[in-house]
Amino acid sequence: MAHIHIYTGADGSVPHLTVRTITAADLWDSLARGYDDFKAMPTHLLFLGLIYPIAGIVLAGFSFGYNLFPMLFPLAAGFALIGPVAAIGLYEISRQREEGNEPDTKHVLDVVRSPSFPAIATISAVLAVLFVTWLIVAQSLYQSLFGYLPPASMSKFVHDVMTTPNGHTLIITGNLIGLAFAIVAMVIGVVSFPLLLDRDVGVLAALATSVRAVAHNAATMTLWGLIVAALLLIGSIPLFVGLAIVVPVLGHATWHLYRKLVAR
């Protein structure tokens, strides 16, 4: 019966949670609260945030070493797809601070002992599959336009992308496809992960609530997606190092956004 508890709450039910209407002001307030959490506990947040730039540098080095220049942008952009997974520890820190506790690194590990951890792992696996699928689609798109041989150099790759019709097609089509993947990831993860950390409701209720929250606030959540994308882009420009600040702030802000979206 253990598998049933993954998809439903501890009592075997699928609760229907109340979703609130939010405005752009709530987004800015969530960001402000997220930044306040970051300032209050910079050591822990910096430690967690460095996961992103380190991973980015490793992936970039791997790509350069194997002459996979076309995959650099998809790899960097793909961070947005798995961001909710990496931010789980940040949600826990915000939750602990919200309860008046003084969180430290051990509180991040409390996620593993959560009754909802199997459900969290299940949705994490879904986003991991989404990330891999995005990379496959991005590579297939590049190969359909430029063939299977990798570019001879980074400068050659940039020249082909920026100055040829196929390159322009790659930019436009690739970004539209990436946008579709990003929307799916946001719909899946923006509420489900903090909700599961907060309550043992199961995968079905978490996903349903996340979908309803986004659909009920379509315009506002679209703005949130644009804010997240813009901040991740800004944080990625200096060799991903800026993500050490951007990721913690967004992670905490997402927790506060969840509080505004779902009634207690």
**pLDDT tens-digit series, residues 56-67:** 656 666 555 556
Is 19 in a helix, a strand, or coil?
strand
Is 160 in a helix, a strand, or coil?
helix
pLDDT of 1 reads 44
* Angle, in degrees to the nearest 10, between helices 202-216 and 165-189: 120
Tell whether 139 is covered by a domain.
no
- Convert the pLDDT of each residue in 208-237 to its tens digit: 999 999 999 999 999 999 999 888 888 777
Averaged pLDDT for residues 32-53: 71
Residue 244 sits in which domain range? 25-59+74-124+183-261
**What whole-number distance in Å separates Cα of residue 53 and Cα of residue 66?**
20
- Convert the pLDDT of each residue in 137-148 to its tens digit: 999 999 999 888
Q: How many domains does the chain have?
A: 1
Tell whether 96 is covered by a domain.
yes
Tell whether 67 is covered by a domain.
no
Tell whether 132 is covered by a domain.
no
Tell whether 35 is covered by a domain.
yes
**What whole-number distance in Å separates Cα of residue 140 and Cα of residue 201?**
38
